[in-house]
Chain A
Amino acid sequence: MGLVPFILKKLLRMAALLIALCILSFWLVSYSPLDPVQAYVGADMTRVSSEQSEMIAEYWGLNKPPLERFLHWGSAVLHGDLGTSMIFRRPVAEVIGERFMASLALMSTAWLLSGVLGFALGAVAGMKQGTWADRLIKWYCFTLASTPAFWLGLLLVMVFAVWLGWFPVGLGVPAGKLADDVTLANRIYHLILPALTLSILGVANVALHTRQKLVDVLASDYILFARARGEKGLQLFWRHGLRNVALPAVTIQFASISELIGGTVLAEQVFSYPGLGQATVQAGLRSDVPLLLGIVIFSALLVFVGNLAADIIYRVVDPRIRKGESA
């Protein structure tokens, strides 16, 4: 199958998936026990008369039956309008865009760091299979694979922010500083701990996968033959190990974007980092249906793009598939 029909097919599946996802999310939210009007008004609920709350519901269309609301919302989305966030009182697209930029810095740092670190650790473990280095790395990965992001985040905050005071306890920028005065260094400073939390956790997947793949490669016939030809050590790894292991590692890393998003939601919450993840939690807790659905669509797209990138890279970079098609 050529690349274009392949992508078209993927896009079609994506569209079907998105529609199903929207219906499901909308249905779930409509059963939420939280009263959106109350969530909207907040603590002042006691001061709001029932007529007022009627009017608020009327204004947001909350008193219509769920199906009607869904259709109304759906047709707007198809016209490119994601609606208005109830808690931010701004267009959903704008909120997502702004929050995403903050999250993007966090996520891409964590993604790159965990990818590089994970690959390196996996490569070392695989090359030194059975030694203490291998056992240490494996132990680290297995331990981390079962560690929740928020727990690790809290631990890091406690150690590095509270006890040692090296890093800020939270937020994306220094508290009380005017937006115009915030420097890049400020932002990076606030980024380090949450990024570290996510990287430390993200390492396990790539590392274990790379290790296993490298162990398989090293046991392969072509490595045996390469050794018979006098290749050894780093040269052997560089020539035959790296190529054969890097490809699956890159694929795994792209495919792991979904987990990264999950981790980001928790990490941002722990660090009060003003990103998309935090917005998701707020939207969920306060029944901000338009924002929540917008985020659901957006993160689904993100995951989809990650998986698609993994697929495309595999097809474009792997010379077997590339040459197999042109031959």
Chain B
Amino acid sequence: MPTQTKSKPILEVEELSISFAQYTSGLRQSSLKVIADLSVSVCPGEIVAVVGSSGSGKSLLAHAILGILPGNAAISGSIRFAGQKLTAEYQEAIRGREIALIPQSVNYLDPLMQVGKQVRNAAKIARGSSPDRAAARKIQREAFARYNLAPEVERLLPFQLSGGMARRVLVATALVSSARLVIADEPTPGLDDAAVRETLGCFRELADQGRGVLLITHDIETALEIADRIAVFYAGTTVEVAPVQDFSGGGEALRHPYTKALWRSLPKNDFAPIPGFQPHPNALPEGCLFQPRCPMATPECTAGRPEMRAVREGMVRCIHAS
């Protein structure tokens, strides 16, 4: 059920780069660029999935949007929320109110605090500083009921939750926040099929309430099932943003050679692995980042980094795409 992008985007990330200061030998400082020129946008009511391989730094995108990167990270580019530039102060003001994070695992819950209380805290913060206990409790109970969490679950500690329950509690923290943008970071690993389906259903519901949902995942099949648009993340940047319908047949509608190869590598398609490996951030190739592995590469591809450009209903970073 793809929503067309009629409304103005709630989140616009443009040319975002994140680098980390590192101390190499002795006191010599070098910086490692983990994300480079990443662009993606999310509209209200829409689920956009950023898909990339595990451990490629995708989570940093979420942390950058929320302004919770570690101190040695430097960012450039622009992030706009509801049309307004996200500065550190603005991020601090809207964190947990306008933007909610659904983290990866139960480890993100305080191990010594009952989960109901953690959800209530989220509800309180979202509603300004005056903590109305009764109201917060009501909101939390409704959210729990909504996600089929038994009333006694609110008194459990995180370690007592099953994987699926933990996931629903985490989603509940976003639901009670009434945030306009929900960022879900790797929400499905370690869950069985039923729990995955349930979680995805929760996301659809959040989107149908008019929120924008940014799903960050390594699991392209999950992403295809639920997202409206897919942003493909490769070697620290987005190489293509495509409507989910383009992922069909032999991938003819897709724009970037990497996306096509990724699509064909799925078990339900050719199951053909892409030769080679993604480059490490401190050993990036000349020109197009995909060029060493690209079957369509030409000499021009090494000349410079291709710009992100609009092709049909999507965006692509390839000079030969059409």
Contact = CB atoms under 8 A, between A and B. Distances in A.
Interface of A: 220-222, 224-232, 239-240, 243-244, 247, 318-320, 323-324, 327
| Band of interface residues on B | 20 to 34
B101 A225 contact: yes
Nearest to B66: A228
Contact of A224 (B100, B108, B113, B126): B108
B97 interface: yes
B122 A229 contact: yes
From A231, A239, A243, A319, name the one whose CB has the most chain B CB atoms within 10 angstroms.
Answer: A319
B173 to A, nearest CB: 7
Given A239-B121, A320-B159, A327-B160, A227 B109 contact: no
Given A227-B95, A228-B66, A320 B107 contact: no
Interface in B68-126: 68, 92, 95-97, 100-101, 103-105, 107-113, 121-122, 125-126
A94 to B, nearest CB: 46
Given A222-B111, A224-B68, A323-B157, 11 more contacts: A222-B107, A222-B108, A228-B68, A228-B96, A228-B100, A229-B121, A229-B177, A230-B95, A232-B92, A243-B112, A324-B160
Contacts of B100: 228-229
B186 to A, nearest CB: 12
A229 B113 contact: no
Contact of B113 (A240, A247, A327): A240
Nearest to B126: A230
Nearest to A243: B112
Given A231-B121, A320-B159, A225 B108 contact: yes
A128 to B, nearest CB: 13
Interface string B120-149: 011001100000000000000000000000
Contacts of B110: 222, 226, 239-240, 243-244
Contacts of B104: 221
Nearest to B95: A230
Contacts of B96: 228-231
A319 B112 contact: yes
A220 B110 CA distance: 9
A320 B112 CA distance: 7
B125 A229 contact: yes
Given A224-B68, A319-B157, A230 B125 contact: yes
Chain A interface helix/strand/loop/mixed: helix
A222 B68 contact: no
Contact of B97 (A230, A243, A320): A230
Interface string B208-246: 000000000000000000000000000000000000000
22 contacts: A221-B104, A221-B108, A224-B103, A225-B101, A225-B109, A227-B95, A228-B95, A228-B96, A228-B100, A229-B100, A229-B101, A229-B177, A230-B95, A231-B121, A232-B92, A239-B110, A239-B113, A240-B110, A243-B113, A244-B110, A319-B157, A323-B160
A243 B118 CA distance: 14
A320 B160 CA distance: 9
Nearest to B103: A225
Nearest to B68: A227
Nearest to B114: A319
Contacts of A239: 110, 113, 121
A229 B110 CA distance: 13
Contacts of B156: 323
Contacts of A323: 156-157, 160
Contacts of A224: 63, 68, 103, 108
Given A221-B103, A229-B122, A244 B68 contact: no
Contacts of B159: 320, 324
Given A228-B66, A239-B121, A319-B157, A244 B111 contact: yes
A198 B68 CA distance: 42
Contacts of B113: 239-240, 243
From B105, B112, B121, name the one whose CB has the most chain A CB atoms within 10 angstroms.
Answer: B112
B220 to A, nearest CB: 25
Nearest to A228: B101
A224 B69 CA distance: 9
